[in-house]
Amino acid sequence: MNAIALNAADWLSLFVHYLSLSMLCVGGAITTAPDMHRFLVQEKAWLTDPQFSASIAIAQAAPGPNVLFTALMGWNVGLNAGGLWTALLGMLLCLGGIMLPSSVVVYLTAHWSHRNRELRAVRAFKQGMAPLVVALLVATGWILATANGYAASNWPGWAVTFVTALVVWRTRLHLLWLLAAGALLGWMGWI
């Protein structure tokens, strides 16, 4: 654990940061992971790099929507700041923040967007954002793979990432097999 101190203003800024990222999640919550890394790890140092990666890895290994990785980030920030109660608070702030604004907008516009899916502005938004959605996914993979720095000794991890990307891109192998293989390789101390 990596003890930190958070005051009320810090908790608020954590919540506000996730609120602001909510409306930026185009193509899934995971596309905002690089910005969470910039904020939580680099700027505020509320999470360490291993904790950040672990949050995403555990959420990926568990069933359910990917967005739950934000809950774990909040949980870990809270654990660093104190104990179980602050962990629950952090979880609530991060998961609530990332979901609240977008969910309200989606609920209110569910009917409108279904009717207007052929509208020029709606289609322009979808088409114009498409290359960014793809690039953000690849950038997220890059940031996760290089979380431990660019030292050449990290090559086994990069190789696993590279092979996984190729296998998932080209085959329909079940993702659990890959996660299990990665866990086994790590367990044996090869990564």
Partner 1 sequence: MSSPSDAVDAPPMARPKSLTDLFVSFTLLALQGFGGVLAVVQRELVENKRWLTKEEFIEEWAVAQIMPGPNVINLSITLGARYFGLRGALAALAGMLTFPLLVVLALALVYAQFAANAQVAGALRGMGAVAAGLITATGLRLMPALKKNVMGMPLCIALGIASFVTIAWLKLPLAWVLAGLGGIGCVAAYRKLAP
Give residues 47-86 in contact with partner 1 (rule: CB under 8 A): 50, 53-54, 56-68, 71-72, 75-76, 79
Q: Which is nearer to partner 1, 7 or 96 (CB)?
A: 96
Residue 130 CB, nearest distance to partner 1 (Å)? 6
Cα 51 to Cα 155: distance, rounded to the nearest angstrom:
20
Q: Which of residues 111-130 bind partner 1 (CB under 8 A)?
A: 111-114, 117, 120-130
Residue type at 119 in one-letter notation: L
- Sequence-distant (6+) residues with CB within 8 A of 54 are 72, 76
Q: Is 140 in a helix, a strand, or coil?
A: helix
Widest distance between CA atoms in the chain: 55
Which position among 110, 149, 151, 152 is part of the footprint of partner 1 (CB under 8 A)? 110
Residue 4 CB, nearest distance to partner 1 (Å)? 16
Where does residue 89 rank: exposed (0-12), middle (13-18), buried (19+ CB within 10 A)? buried
Residue 90 CB, nearest distance to partner 1 (Å)? 12
Residue 133 CB, nearest distance to partner 1 (Å)? 7
Which position among 12, 16, 45, 132 is part of the footprint of partner 1 (CB under 8 A)? 132
Residue 8 CB, nearest distance to partner 1 (Å)? 24
Are residues 40 and 73 in contact, defined by beta-carbon separation less than 8 angstroms? yes
| Tokens representing residue 140 in the block | 């997220």
Q: Is 83 in a helix, a strand, or coil?
A: coil
Residue 162 CB, nearest distance to partner 1 (Å)? 7
Q: Which is nearer to partner 1, 12 or 84 (CB)?
A: 84
Query: What's the CA dihedral at 159, 67, 6, 87 to 10 degrees?
Result: -100
Cα 176 to Cα 164: distance, rounded to the nearest angstrom:
12
- For residues 2 to 41, the per-residue mask of contacts with partner 1, x marking binding by CB under 8 A and - elsewhere, is ------------------xxxxxxxxxxxxx-xx--x---
Q: Which of residues 133-172 bind partner 1 (CB under 8 A)?
A: 133-145, 147, 157-158, 160-169
